[in-house]
Chain A
Amino acid sequence: MLATASSRQVLSLETITTGIIQGLKLFFSGDPALWQIIGVSAQVSGAALLLSAIIGIPLGAVLGLTRFPGRRMIQALIYTGMGLPPVVVGLAVYLLLSNNGLLGPLQQAWIPKLFTVEAMIAAQVIIAAPLVIGYTMSAVGEVSPNLRLQVRSLGATRLQALGATLWEARRGVLVALIGGLGSILSEVGAVMMVGGNIDGSTRVMTTAILLETRRGNFELAISLGIVLLGMAFLINLSAAQLQGKGH
């Protein structure tokens, strides 16, 4: 029994070691399949983060700085959105976009079709935007009210005051974007459901890792895992550098 378990362990370790070596070779050899998946991932993640930032930063700033009836309810909804299970988002987007769904039959150009990159971006935005809104809301809320008053006293318009407050809260806003990107990069359930993991079209790194692991193609799975980790590390390193420059 012991011997069998031990040999399994050795086999597993060998597989992992070989997988890492083969994975690195694949990455540096410019394997077209691998780079195609990386490209789609970058496209989906970049677009989803950009849209989440465009929606989330101004909305978070307004929610963090203004007081109006119903604000607490909106805040509670945003906080709920920050913890949305991705598969539930995937299911909702699937039901919305499917041919028998709410939006699918409308056949409008602005409505993304299921199993496309656009549908994946839509799902990712629904997952990431609440995070960007929530963290931005918290970051601008921490800017001293005295400073906000001083900015207005110096002659800022409302828009200029908003811009100055966001600038003062920039480290927190950066954290909001990193949080959003983290959720986008690690997401697998929703993009699998609405993208379909179609080879050469909607396959991204996370869905490819899942598929290749199931197939036993550990080299490709590990290679993709390394790229995903490397990307996350580089992005966070750049963000840490930017945050450090502010001090």
Chain B
Amino acid sequence: MEPVYQLTNVTKAYSGRQILNIGQLDIYPGEILAVVGPSGAGKSTLLRLLNFLEAPDSGSIYFNQQPVNDQNVPLEIRRTVTTVFQNPALLSGSVTANLLFGLRLRGQNDGQKEVGEMLERFGLAALRRSPAHTLSGGEAQRVALARALILKPSVLLLDEPTANLDPYNAEMIESVIRGINQTHLTTIVLVTHNIFQARRLADRVALMLNGEIVETADTQTFFENPRDSRTRRFVRGEMVW
């Protein structure tokens, strides 16, 4: 199976500080890849590169066999990938306006039916007209995820989507992530601090440390029989950061 993403020798630095140094990373269609690691490991930077929001300093990124190394990625490719960030950056306006935003960018002005379905699915129907700034953290994160999914992306990038959420909202979001992966075969890259969540959701897990991918393995191997000693320490909870 051809990977959706192929990253080779990708580096990224800010103000002279190396943030990413990835030798090789392949991401396959329809999989859920969890990227775990401590804060500052470069996980969020990796997501920005995968979403074509930034370009690598060196190395190559291929997306469906097409090079996407600079910021001039064609719009039709960019629009197949979207990110839900840790802090749900909602636009001012109502919940409905937020869900319609991405559709309107694509020239679709008649998305009320899709919005209605998505609001039902996320338990947000009663909040359809609520201003975004009045929502709780859990509601806002559900809106952010619904706003991404209404665009039917082929790749969904999730940056700590359930951090700081209560168990009810976290479980609902996990259930939706699992559901869209199974029904739409959406490729999902999930950045998480929560190794239990990675274990519950992911097909494969990658450990990032200091901008490098230490190990990538299927979920069972990653947690039960990791190759790298750092991964063993990480999964045992011995790695302090």
Contacts and interface: CB of A to CB of B under 8 A. Distances in A.
A149 B82 CA distance: 11
B126 interface: no
Interface in B70-125: 75, 78-79, 81-83, 85, 87, 89, 91-92, 101-102, 105-106
Contacts of B144: 150
Contacts of B235: none
A153 interface: yes
B53 interface: yes
Interface string A145-170: 01101111111110010001001100
- Interface of A (DSSP majority class): helix
Most chain B C-beta atoms within 10 Å of own C-beta, residue among A147, A153, A156, A168? A153
B79 A155 contact: yes
Most chain B C-beta atoms within 10 Å of own C-beta, residue among A149, A155, A246? A155
Interface in A63-100: none
Contacts of A167: 91-92
Contacts, number: 51
B137 to A, nearest CB: 15
A201 interface: no
Contact of B85 (A150, A156, A168, A246): A150
Given A149-B48, A155-B151, A144 B78 contact: no
Interface of A: 144, 146-147, 149-157, 160, 164, 167-168, 246
Given A147-B91, A149-B48, A154-B101, 20 more contacts: A144-B89, A146-B89, A149-B83, A150-B85, A150-B144, A151-B91, A151-B101, A153-B51, A153-B83, A154-B147, A154-B148, A155-B79, A155-B82, A155-B105, A155-B106, A155-B151, A156-B105, A160-B105, A164-B101, A167-B91
